[in-house]
Amino acid sequence: MAFALVQLLSSQTHPLPSSSPISAVFSHLFVADVSIRQLSTGTARCFLDRHAGAPAMVNWSSRAISRHGVPPADIWQHLWHAPTLPAHWQTLYQLYLNTLPIGHHIEHFANEEADVYCHFCPGVVQSLRHFVYACPLAHQIWQNFARFFSCSPVSFSNALYSWPSSCSSYLGHAYGYQLQAGHAVAVHTLWYVTVMARLHGTQWARIAVSRIFLLCLRQHFSALSTSSRWRPRLGILPFLS
């Protein structure tokens, strides 16, 4: 019966009038734990992944990235619910699954030997740790990050895995969301800088990377501040004034 009703409603070629009794049914139909009016491909995918046990299917102890520390248990959960963009998700998914094509991962089949090395540090292989934390460009971004969010110096664990959702209990939910969003922008900026150097030979200076990161950060938070979903969750954003 329920299936037939959904089929009937979804087959309508024109929107139902708001005064229609059938239209009121939409307000009481829930799919994938959300109202059918709010259902999206993303929420449906996350719902199916959770019920399939997808997060638990990754055996972190067998993955190379675990050499740098085991990710927080809720790593996928806060990726799904962080105030970030699809481009950020793609970069972070590749980072966590250790498939981001940094120098160390492509050294056996790289077209150019130069692609194996850090574009800013001659002769240094671009390992995961170097890419996300040890490179002077990464240091510059995390220094900017710490000043921007008025937080303590960023550790390698935070640079790699962000701040776990459990930190919200003492940092506050709004500040936790801000840190997660900022982390996604920081890692994506580092990858953008690498891609531009590799494909276009861009020679980056620390000040240039710093400006790009801060510009992307402010643009991202400006966009979030206009979102009805994220504005109430992020709290006051004094750094946008």
pTM over 0.85: no
- Assess whether pLDDT exceeds 90 at residue 210: yes
Cβ–Cβ under 8 Å, residues 64 and 96: no
Percent of the chain clearing pLDDT 70 (strictly above): 73
Least confident of 64-68, 109-113, 208-212: 109-113
117 vs 172, higher pLDDT: 117
pLDDT of 118-177, one tens digit each?
Answer: 999 999 999 999 999 999 999 999 999 999 999 999 999 999 999 876 666 667 889 989
141 vs 7, higher pLDDT: 141
- Assess whether pLDDT exceeds 80 at residue 213: yes
* Mean per-residue pLDDT, 83-100: 92
* Mean per-residue pLDDT, 222-237: 90
